[in-house]
Amino acid sequence: MNDMIEEARSILKKVYGYDAFKQGQEAAITSILRRQDTMVIMPTGGGKSICYQIPALLFEGVTMVISPLISLMKDQVDALESVGIPATYINSTLSHQEMNRRLEDVITGKYNIIYIAPERLETESIYRLVGQVQIAFVAVDEAHCVSQWGHDFRPSYMTIDRFIEGLAERPVVAALTATATERVQQDMSQQLNLRNPEIIKNGYNRENLTFTVLKGVNKHHFIVDYTMKHQGEAGIIYAGTRKDTENICKLLVKQGLRAGMYHGGMGAEDRKQNQEKFLYDDVDVMVATNAFGMGIDKSNVRYVIHYNMPENIEAYYQEAGRAGRDGLPSKCILLFGAADVQLRRYLIDQSEDLDEARKHMKYEKLQQMTQYAHVTYCLRKYILTYFGDEEIEDKCDNCSNCNGNIIKEDMTLEAQKILSCVVRMKERFGTKIIAEVLKGSKNKRVLQLGFDRLSTYGLLSELTIGAVKDSINLLIAEGYLRMTHDEFPIVKITERGVKILKGIEQVYRNVIEEEEVQVKEELFEQLRQLRRDMASNEHIPPYLVFSDASLREMCKQYPTNEIAMLRVKGVGEAKYKKYGEPFMDRIKRYVEEHHIQVDTLDMHIHEKLATKSKKQKEPSCFISAKLFLELQDFKEVAKERSIQVRTVENHIFEAYAQGFEINMDQFIPDGYEERILETIKEMGKERLKPIKEVSDTCVTYNAIKAVIAKHDL
Ligand SMILES: [Zn+2]
């Protein structure tokens, strides 16, 4: 057994490029390898799939991964192939022929991981398959779909249990999900008939996500502002309706932003195309209804903004959780408006296929979601408590309630304009037409009613209709206006509203404090571009080449040889072979252009290994150093050896670092040593350029390098 765990670790390193398991992974894998049924509840981005993929590689026989997400299957299989693991999938997108071909390949042992949609389990061809191969392990992904009490019940999941029991030999079964309340967990265990399952619960916390709730912001303004500031980063904006989705997308495109959209009303082909553009980093922002996202596994989404509040916490956490799957800091922002609650209530009301009990449950969940927007304590604590996590810190210091980086902006004047318009219109109209009047719309109805003659007509013409509506909704949420409960609700002014008109009270809106604009590192951008090019050659999403986290690490460590590259998280052998060279070349060029002093330790190891394999050949830097002692000139050495002058220079310092005797003083101008030393201490030795810039012209890069070498800095 211990051998198997060892082997699991070595697969983790060799194949996936990670040194250590993330929390919970090892426990889950150990349990599964012991042939114990296992339930894994691990937040998105926690590395859930590794929990079944590694055992699949170690078990004899075939592993079936049951997954409801047809588009995700392809991504998962692509991801496995990108690390050199043969896998395939069976779902309704394949032709009959193709399906049979794949099943044939499973039988002949070409694949031992097969992804399958639950609908396909009880089909003739699958029965034939399981008659011919041994199914060692069944992993049920998104296992919460089996529960009616979950938020995403799928009847096809009810067949899984029957399918498993029908197999000649019962396989190990693992049920995996990212979100499940206590009740859903019990259901998973029962419905899938798990045998005394080991439960691995990782907690739901996603430390890298910052949660923010904004009430009373102008939603359109906010979205435009935010996306403009974050151009070049991937983000998702969820809206409640198709119409909003279209409007927001149009608005962003008009601002020159790279935005795309996705909703259920679009044709399948358009949806697919837009989704791919987002996956391949061809658009930055995806504006979508909740129809979007189930099938995507993009790891570098930096923010998720909810334009409307979702129906329950599960849905919110799942959607928001699509941010930051690579573990890097990412933002989840909910733009709350009172109208959202009404919209959701209405939708539940209208759904005819719900019995009273389910309706009641939905109202309750909606209530809990609404509370999230109103709590004054830690937002993370609220969510985690909802999912039953225990022992949560009171403050996370990473949510808008803990950090309070929200500033209030005075909107009294705007409010006065709106309120007086409501008064002028005799408090007899709804939000839409009030907004149109304030905007100065030439709409037929506005003109018919003679509202273009009101003194308040066009008072807010500089805003969009949507922005004006948002402001009206804010005033409703804050109690300055109220809406009647009619079929066509009318907006009326309240006593508090009168105080605004009289100038007795002020109104504020929340604005997120200007964030520090992160300086985009040049190298990161270069590597990103390279990744995009390589991915588009292969027709795979860029994150399958390397994740953002891997690129970030490369920017920190500047790996320029195999050993250093393999040390980067997420770089395993297969990926190294496929993509390593061009990335190292780009990094090398950058390091040279910017005169960055890279820790030479890696180079030494590399040299040593190279030396060993070449039967103790003398290190190249020693050859250069010896020649230098003889010729006393870099250029001459370079000529002699047919290598670059810069390489020779580097060789000299490298050889010195390895104990070769060369007088460093010859490179340092007289009387400058102390001064250079001071500057290095002050500015650090990572980047030589700034040191050179503040130094005298006679101080060369070599002089700086010599000081660093001499003082062993
Ligand atoms: Zn907090």
Task: Please tell me the predicted confidence (pLDDT) of residue 39.
Answer: 95
Question: In angstroms, what is the span from residue 379 Cα to ligand 1's centroid?
Answer: 5
Six-digit token string for 458: 């066009």
Report residue 126 CA to chain centroid gap.
35
Question: In angstroms, what is the span from residue 27 Cα to ligand 1's centroid?
Answer: 29
Rounded Cα distance between 263 and 275, Å, is 10
590 lies in the same domain as 502: no
**Which pLDDT tens digit goes with each residue over 612-657?**
444 445 678 888 888 888 778 888 888 888 778 888 888 888 888 8
Rounded Cα distance between 172 and 344, Å, is 41
CB 118 within 8 A of CB 156: yes
Rounded Cα distance between 90 and 104, Å, is 12
Task: Please tell me the predicted confidence (pLDDT) of residue 702.
Answer: 87
Question: In angstroms, what is the span from residue 524 Cα to ligand 1's centroid?
Answer: 30
Question: In angstroms, what is the span from residue 212 Cα to ligand 1's centroid?
Answer: 9
Question: In angstroms, what is the span from residue 377 Cα to ligand 1's centroid?
Answer: 7
Rounded Cα distance between 703 and 696, Å, is 11
- The phi, psi pair for 513, rounded to 5°, reads -60, 140
Residue 576 has pLDDT above 80, yes or no: yes
Identify the CATH number of the domain in which residue 149 sits: 3.40.50.300
Q: Are strands 172-177 and 38-41 parallel, antiparallel or unpaired?
A: parallel
Question: In angstroms, what is the span from residue 630 Cα to ligand 1's centroid?
Answer: 66
Question: In angstroms, what is the span from residue 329 Cα to ligand 1's centroid?
Answer: 15
Question: In angstroms, what is the span from residue 74 Cα to ligand 1's centroid?
Answer: 36
Question: In angstroms, what is the span from residue 211 Cα to ligand 1's centroid?
Answer: 8
Question: In angstroms, what is the span from residue 311 Cα to ligand 1's centroid?
Answer: 22
629 lies in the same domain as 485: no
CB-count burial class (<10 Å; 0-12, 13-18, 19+) for 56: buried
Question: In angstroms, what is the span from residue 204 Cα to ligand 1's centroid?
Answer: 14
Question: In angstroms, what is the span from residue 402 Cα to ligand 1's centroid?
Answer: 4
Question: In angstroms, what is the span from residue 225 Cα to ligand 1's centroid?
Answer: 24
Question: In angstroms, what is the span from residue 72 Cα to ligand 1's centroid?
Answer: 32
Question: In angstroms, what is the span from residue 606 Cα to ligand 1's centroid?
Answer: 46
Segment 526-545 shows an average pLDDT of 88
Question: In angstroms, what is the span from residue 230 Cα to ligand 1's centroid?
Answer: 23
SS3 at position 79: helix
CB 6 within 8 A of CB 283: no
CB 179 within 8 A of CB 312: no
468 lies in the same domain as 351: no
172 lies in the same domain as 81: yes
Question: In angstroms, what is the span from residue 392 Cα to ligand 1's centroid?
Answer: 10
Least confident stretch, 247-251, 301-305, 568-572, 611-615: 611-615
Task: Please tell me the predicted confidence (pLDDT) of residue 604.
Answer: 46
Question: In angstroms, what is the span from residue 401 Cα to ligand 1's centroid?
Answer: 6
| Contact residues for 460 (Cβ-Cβ < 8 A; gap 6+) | 414, 417, 418, 438, 439, 468, 471
Residue whose tokens read 């409801």 = 68
Which domain covers residue 663, as residue numbers?
A: 620-710
User: CB atoms < 10 A from the CB of 306, how many?
Assistant: 25
Query: In this structure, is the dihedral angle defined by the CA atoms of residues 406, 412, 417 and 419, taken in order, positive or negative?
Result: positive
Question: In angstroms, what is the span from residue 144 Cα to ligand 1's centroid?
Answer: 27
Question: In angstroms, what is the span from residue 382 Cα to ligand 1's centroid?
Answer: 9
Task: Please tell me the predicted confidence (pLDDT) of residue 611.
Answer: 43
Question: In angstroms, what is the span from residue 332 Cα to ligand 1's centroid?
Answer: 13
Residue whose tokens read 């504006």 = 287
**Which pLDDT tens digit goes with each residue over 452-495?**
999 999 999 988 787 788 788 778 767 788 877 666 778 999 99
Identity at 575, one-letter amino acid code: K
CB 550 within 8 A of CB 569: yes
Question: In angstroms, what is the span from residue 398 Cα to ligand 1's centroid?
Answer: 5
Residue whose tokens read 């590689």 = 57
Question: In angstroms, what is the span from residue 308 Cα to ligand 1's centroid?
Answer: 21
Residue 511 has pLDDT above 90, yes or no: no
628 lies in the same domain as 486: no
424 lies in the same domain as 560: no
pTM equals 0.56
Q: Which of 590, 613, 636 is the last residue of a domain?
A: 613
Six-digit token string for 248: 């927001």
> What distances in angstroms separate CA 150 from CA 57, 202, 313, 348, 353, one per listed residue?
31, 19, 11, 16, 16
Rounded Cα distance between 433 and 446, Å, is 7
Question: In angstroms, what is the span from residue 59 Cα to ligand 1's centroid?
Answer: 42
Question: In angstroms, what is the span from residue 667 Cα to ligand 1's centroid?
Answer: 55
375 lies in the same domain as 391: yes
Least confident stretch, 35-39, 72-76, 112-116, 171-175: 72-76
Question: In angstroms, what is the span from residue 400 Cα to ligand 1's centroid?
Answer: 7
Q: Which residue has the higher pLDDT, 615 or 377?
A: 377
171 lies in the same domain as 226: no
Task: Please tell me the predicted confidence (pLDDT) of residue 605.
Answer: 46
CB 185 within 8 A of CB 39: yes
CB 64 within 8 A of CB 53: no
Question: In angstroms, what is the span from residue 395 Cα to ligand 1's centroid?
Answer: 5
Question: In angstroms, what is the span from residue 619 Cα to ligand 1's centroid?
Answer: 55
Rounded Cα distance between 696 and 678, Å, is 13
Question: In angstroms, what is the span from residue 184 Cα to ligand 1's centroid?
Answer: 26
Task: Please tell me the predicted confidence (pLDDT) of residue 23.
Answer: 78
Least confident stretch, 153-162, 513-522, 642-651: 513-522
Question: In angstroms, what is the span from residue 292 Cα to ligand 1's centroid?
Answer: 28
Rounded Cα distance between 538 and 23, Å, is 33
CB 106 within 8 A of CB 136: no
Question: In angstroms, what is the span from residue 478 Cα to ligand 1's centroid?
Answer: 24
Segment 209-221 shows an average pLDDT of 86
> What distances in angstroms separate CA 590 from CA 478, 576, 598, 663, one per listed residue?
54, 19, 11, 29
497 lies in the same domain as 528: no
Q: Which residue has the higher pLDDT, 708 or 450?
A: 450
> Total structural domains in the chain?
5
**Which pLDDT tens digit goes with each residue over 650-698?**
888 888 887 777 888 888 888 888 888 888 888 777 777 778 777 777 7
Q: Return the C-alpha torsion angle 660, 663, 665, 666, nearest 10.
A: -120
Rounded Cα distance between 162 and 159, Å, is 5
**Which pLDDT tens digit goes with each residue over 379-435?**
999 999 888 777 788 888 899 888 866 667 788 999 999 999 999 999 999 988 999
Phi-psi label, residue 538: left if phi above 0, alpha if psi -120 to 50, beta otherwise: alpha
8 lies in the same domain as 152: yes
The per-residue pLDDT of the chain, averaged, comes to: 86
Rounded Cα distance between 348 and 312, Å, is 12
285 lies in the same domain as 263: yes
DSSP assignment letter at 61? S
SS3 at position 137: strand
Question: In angstroms, what is the span from residue 410 Cα to ligand 1's centroid?
Answer: 26
Q: Which of 613, 643, 669 is the last residue of a domain?
A: 613
Residue 376 has pLDDT above 80, yes or no: no
Rounded Cα distance between 184 and 416, Å, is 49
Residue 606 has pLDDT above 50, yes or no: no
Question: In angstroms, what is the span from residue 60 Cα to ligand 1's centroid?
Answer: 46
Task: Please tell me the predicted confidence (pLDDT) of residue 340.
Answer: 83
Residue 520 has pLDDT above 50, yes or no: no
Question: In angstroms, what is the span from residue 227 Cα to ligand 1's centroid?
Answer: 24
Q: Tell me what percent of the chain is helix, strand and coil, each rounded to the nearest 5.
A: 50, 10, 35
CB 80 within 8 A of CB 87: yes
Q: 288 has which bridge partners?
A: 238, 262
Task: Please tell me the predicted confidence (pLDDT) of residue 244.
Answer: 93
The most confident of the ranges 63-67, 70-74, 472-476 is 63-67
Question: In angstroms, what is the span from residue 404 Cα to ligand 1's centroid?
Answer: 10
Residue 517 has pLDDT above 50, yes or no: no
Task: Please tell me the predicted confidence (pLDDT) of residue 190.
Answer: 94
DSSP assignment letter at 292? S
Question: In angstroms, what is the span from residue 296 Cα to ligand 1's centroid?
Answer: 28
Q: Which of 613, 635, 663 is the last residue of a domain?
A: 613
154 lies in the same domain as 22: yes
Question: In angstroms, what is the span from residue 394 Cα to ligand 1's centroid?
Answer: 7
- pLDDT more than 70, % of the chain: 94
Rounded Cα distance between 158 and 390, Å, is 31
Question: In angstroms, what is the span from residue 374 Cα to ligand 1's centroid?
Answer: 14
Segment 160-177 shows an average pLDDT of 94
Report residue 537 CA to chain centroid gap.
23
CB 194 within 8 A of CB 139: no
Question: In angstroms, what is the span from residue 517 Cα to ligand 1's centroid?
Answer: 22
Question: In angstroms, what is the span from residue 317 Cα to ligand 1's centroid?
Answer: 15
User: CB atoms < 10 A from the CB of 273, how many?
Assistant: 15
